[in-house]
Chain A
């Protein structure tokens, strides 16, 4: 059925499904990630206990969210970090623009940050004659090729090394063609070291912001995040407002869940905790640190007791890796910043159902995402909730664009269904007609579409009621 979306999801899916290379790259990658996660959590009871603890920590943080954000602000400010609040992405972008202009910076070196993707910061900076330089290897590759990330954790996972080789050869002047991954990595190292040394402003995301101490915690393997937050004169961190946790002691279990779920690691190479700018006698580190706290619809999501569970997410990406839909179509097909199961519930709530509700239909409701989620977000339940909201069958719709799918024909069909199931006479008549004619319905319209990839069920000639009566069972 034609839905009013700003992107053509169906056609994206078709394109992705018919791209053999993409499907092969994804299948290999996701199998590896799934296996690595399984290996790092060998004890299922312990994992369940850890997930329950992670869920409780994040729920406690959401319960206290307004106080924790104020406490974070107070602590950071006392530590010398400038705190900014942004209601939407445009405000957040302008805060960064103003900081860059004040420091006469023409470029910002960026660590990996999904919030900056959500802000479309690079595009915004470009429009103002400034440059956002991605420095995470995966992000660097796709930025060279003018693409966006296709995965939250491994942004260039849709590319194989031949494709990367071609991109480097073509886009980096003077680079010979090589498919050697070590050599490709060395090329990126050389290119980006110059950018780190020259940059006046560095940008990062935030994995956890600790209210108790006013600390911004970043998780990474490459070291580019440390570069971006240490070498330039100014460090700007951007975070969604749900990233705050209450205590430092909340962090270790969440880290264990995050790195285990994301990449199957016990710990990443670097856990980088930043609590202040360079102090008077220190030799390096940024002289200014800014924290931008972004809402962009999150406070509205918080208003619904069920839907607010979306904000428990720690962005590990494991729901993508385990999703039978994501594995087949990849991240770009979803047409939005956050792909996969988490994107299916987050994006429609941020953008409204009319624009993005179709994402919630791309699920077989197999339940894998809910089973693996390290903080126990009931993703399948939330997908069903959004589908329900799309039809607004009760007046309780809370998401923007609720009921956008409601239509006369479907409403009438359900009314008829209700009637037939309330009236024994109609029910009897209905099952008789279905038994006699159900298998001979002409395959047109929705039925034709539905049966194009499915076998239609055979309808029994006699209803169960009829058969019981024939066999003399007295059901009274």
Chain B
């Protein structure tokens, strides 16, 4: 194909210019990184919670075995109608077991199990909340890490107006660097990896901070301790 040919030509010519530039002969001294924070377990939770709360995330520390109670409490209080989740995900069974079939004051659970092509209008128009597990947290900057999976797809944490993220306290790392190294991210990156620090926001008009410009208007983090 013609375009493939021109792509090859462009590639060769660009690389030839880069090699000829002499850049490879530069001497680059190493510069040490500033030391990173190193906090104890509780201090990590506190720092993450404080930083994320400061940018309008709602953070609740809950008991590991009864975290669904907080979820149901929020659902009733806020009047959520339809909650999207991944039945095959790490927290799917726990959500289902906490949802009695006959409870009409709780929102309807909607499973994200089909390709988005056949689910798009439902996803964009009829879902109030998306619930996901998380891979861990970062205390230094205040953020949660997500690696979306087939069981908990990418749009689960993006399209619904509210994102509820369930975070285990013992997966909170001091820093992004520590997390990436400890979990050996370089061994194989997923299709999509995310750090999320709060609800979607903008300050593009006169620096007035507005939440929920394109993504979730609310981010609720339940830390299971």
Contact = CB atoms under 8 A, between A and B. Distances in A.
Contacts of B22: 303, 305
B204 interface: yes
A279 B150 CA distance: 9
B142 A230 contact: no
A62 interface: yes
B30 interface: yes
Given A137-B204, A295-B14, A227 B191 contact: no
Nearest to B55: A269
Interface string B199-211: 1111111111010
A138 interface: yes
A227 B150 contact: no
Contacts of B206: 25, 28-29, 160-161, 181
Contacts of A248: 180, 185-186, 189
A185 B205 contact: yes
Given A269-B200, A273-B189, A283-B116, A65 B23 contact: yes
Contact of A32 (B51, B175, B176, B207): B207
B98 interface: no
A223 B32 contact: no
B208 A161 contact: yes
A63 to B, nearest CB: 5
Contact of A267 (B23, B33, B195): B195
Nearest to B186: A248
Interface in B178-225: 180-181, 185-186, 189-208, 210, 212-216
Contact of A95 (B3, B116, B186, B194): B3
Contacts of B55: 269
B185 A222 contact: no
A267 B192 CA distance: 18
A269 B212 CA distance: 11
Contacts of B191: 274-279, 282, 285
Contact of A222 (B6, B7, B15, B213): B213
Nearest to A223: B215
B31 A52 contact: yes
A321 to B, nearest CB: 12
Contacts of B65: none
Interface stretch (A83-91, A348-356, A440-448): A83-91
B77 interface: no
A434 interface: no
Max count, chain B CB within 10 A of own CB: residue among A53, A270, A277: A270
Given A29-B207, A181-B210, A192-B214, A222 B202 contact: yes
Nearest to B1: A98
B108 to A, nearest CB: 19
Interface residues of A, number: 100
Nearest to A58: B28
B48 to A, nearest CB: 11
A285 B154 contact: yes
Of the four ranges (under 10, 10 to 19, 20 to 34, 35 or more), the interface on chain B belongs to: 35 or more
Contact of B24 (A49, A56, A63, A213): A63
B195 A270 contact: yes
Contacts of B113: 283
A213 B186 contact: yes
B210 A270 contact: no
- List the 8 closest A-B pairs by CB distance, nearest first: A223-B215, A299-B17, A138-B204, A56-B31, A267-B141, A284-B116, A223-B200, A223-B214
Given A299-B17, A302-B21, 13 more contacts: A49-B33, A53-B34, A87-B13, A138-B202, A161-B206, A193-B214, A212-B186, A226-B214, A248-B185, A269-B200, A273-B192, A285-B191, A302-B23
25 contacts: A49-B31, A52-B31, A56-B28, A56-B30, A62-B23, A85-B11, A87-B10, A95-B7, A141-B204, A161-B205, A185-B205, A212-B186, A221-B200, A227-B215, A241-B14, A248-B185, A270-B195, A271-B194, A272-B192, A273-B189, A282-B154, A283-B114, A285-B154, A285-B192, A299-B21
Interface of A: 25, 28-29, 32, 46, 49-50, 52-53, 55-56, 59-60, 62-66, 69-70, 79, 84-87, 91, 94-95, 98, 135-138, 141, 154-156, 159-161, 164, 181-182, 184-185, 188-189, 192-193, 196-197, 212-215, 221-224, 226-227, 230-231, 241, 247-249, 251-253, 255-256, 263, 266-279, 281-285, 293, 295, 299-300, 302-303, 305, 308
